Amino acid sequence: MFPLHLFFTIFGQILKNSMTKLFKAFILALCIVSCRPQQIDRIKLSVYDMEFAQEGREVQVGVLASSMWSVDKQAEWIEVVYTSDNGCTLLITPNDTLDRSDSLLFICGTSTAALHISQKHSDVFDILPDTTHFSYKGGDTYIKILCYDQWHIETDSDWIIPDVTEGIGPQTITLTILESFLPNESKGSVIISSSEKEITLKITREARPFVKLDKEKIEIDGDQHDTSLLYLTNDRINIINNTSWIRTVHHDTLSKRLTLEILRNRGYQKREGDIRFICQQDTAIYSTLTIIQGEKIDHPELGFKEGYTLDVSSQAPFTLHPIFTDMTDTTLIWTSDRPEVAKVDQNGVVTALETGECKITITNTYHNVSAEILLKIRLVADSMTVMLGKQNMNINTTAVRFVGEKMEIEVILHPESSYNGDIICYSSDHEVVKIKGFNVECISEGTATITVESLYHGLRSSFKIIVIKL
């Protein structure tokens, strides 16, 4: 407010100085303006209440103010990203909690205006993953909860332990699965529920591997024996036998039966050996069969150094070697059950004559013991001749045939007593020449290469068939 006593003092002086009427009028107007009341601060907003969905967004708010203005905010989820004289831009961040609300205070001098902002939470409710599988050893797994509400966790099994049982908003939790000592698969559930929804996480835990024997110890005398045992397991197993005098004769994995041959004890002391049944899934889980065999029992025994069977591929003579045990008389009689396949003299010299099988037997009549060895003879061929009908394809390697003509391939091995069990024939073009076994059929015009092969002998022969129309 302009001081009145100063105004009148100046005004009187001007009058004394004979100022013009115009100057007097100006002074009068200035006095009137100075005596008016001071201007009041005002601020208005384009909107006073705003509501947003969970994902949030940017929004503009218009501001009409009588002078400079500012914004006072407390909520961290509301950001003022831009301001100007006539408004501002707000960024509402996504909501990962419950419903929320707050206010912004717009200030212009002594005048204020409040903008109320509210935001809903998302109705998304899910978990990742929705199933999980563990070995019997258990372990930890991480579950991501996608929920923008308050949630609670329950389990139906004491071997499933969550690190937290409740929370608000998205969160990654840890599930601890305890080790299983059960022989069967375990199934459990984790139920995650909110105020409106419920999701179940299915968890499976593998059965603990085990192997159990129907007997853990076998005691026998010093003679040779065959024995068997049964085992029960829920896993694949490895059978470890490092004892030379215990032989695995047969292992039936379907019936889970193991047949063993215990060789004769040739020493005059008891001996002990082990066979270990080890789970493949966990080698620390196993069962052991212990075999205790008595000392040597003297009685005559006869066998072959070469064993029970022998593969023969040549006609060259060879000698078999008998093994004697506890025999004072070692006179032997040698016989062949198929002398046309292989013959033997009384010195044990064998000569293979043709491909086939035969047994060589040695007999000691004094002790009334015998032994036999099976000879599996597959003689190796030096060469082979391939015939297509009456045409020798070793000499003339190209044959001309007609569409629809059928014929047969004949393979002659040299010597003819050679093994012929693995000979195959095939065509380079089945649309021209088709081969089934040793039968040939000409399908269409063209040329195909026919190959005859024996992997056992290492022999191969090829020729061409040119197919023409009749």
CATH of the domain at 441: 2.60.40.1080
Same domain assignment for residues 217 and 287: yes
- C-beta separation of 161 from 186 below 8 A: no
End-of-domain residue from the set 349, 377, 405? 377
Q: How far is CA 414 from the centre of its chain?
A: 52
Same domain assignment for residues 146 and 176: yes
Same domain assignment for residues 58 and 79: yes
Stretches where the chain sits below pLDDT 50 are 1-7, 11, 15, 18, 22-23, 29-33, 35
Q: What are the helix (H) ranges across 395-446?
A: none
| The pLDDT of residue 117 | 95
Contacts of 65 by beta carbon, 8 Å cutoff, 6+ apart: 41, 42, 43, 44, 106, 108, 111
Q: What span, in angstroms and rounded, lies between the C-alpha atoms of 155 and 233?
A: 30
End-of-domain residue from the set 205, 220, 252? 205
Query: What is the DSSP code (8-state) at residue 455?
Result: T
| The pLDDT of residue 432 | 96
Residue with tokens 């929804």: 197
Q: What span, in angstroms and rounded, lies between the C-alpha atoms of 125 and 116?
A: 28
Q: What span, in angstroms and rounded, lies between the C-alpha atoms of 398 and 385?
A: 15
Q: How do 100-108 and 125-128 pair as beta strands?
A: unpaired
Q: What span, in angstroms and rounded, lies between the C-alpha atoms of 129 and 202?
A: 9
Same domain assignment for residues 137 and 79: no
Same domain assignment for residues 236 and 287: yes
Phi first, then psi, for residue 16 (nearest 5°) are -65, -35
Same domain assignment for residues 9 and 86: no
Same domain assignment for residues 9 and 70: no
Same domain assignment for residues 108 and 133: no
- The structure's pTM equals 0.44
Same domain assignment for residues 326 and 279: no
For 443, the domain range is: 383-468
Q: Is 196 helix (H, G, I), strand (E, B) or coil?
A: coil
* Domain CATH code at residue 262: 2.60.40.10
End-of-domain residue from the set 157, 181, 205? 205
Handedness of CA 424, 425, 427, 433 (dihedral sign): negative
| The pLDDT of residue 37 | 53
Same domain assignment for residues 417 and 462: yes
Same domain assignment for residues 66 and 22: no
Cis before 317? omega within 30: no
Give bridge partners of residue 49 from the DSSP assignment: 116
Rg (CA), the chain: 52
Q: Is 68 helix (H, G, I), strand (E, B) or coil?
A: coil
Can you list the positions of beta strands (E) in 165-300? 166-168, 171-177, 186-193, 198-205, 211-213, 217-220, 225-233, 237-241, 246-252, 257-262, 271-279, 286-293
Residue with tokens 């301001």: 83
* Rounded percentage of the chain residues whose pLDDT exceeds 70: 92
Angle at 199 between CA 194 and CA 200, to 5 degrees: 135
Helix (H) and strand (E) counts for the chain? Answer: 2, 43
| The pLDDT of residue 170 | 86
| The pLDDT of residue 123 | 75
Domain count, the chain: 6
Closest CA to 215 of 283, 280, 274, 290: 290
Same domain assignment for residues 143 and 216: no
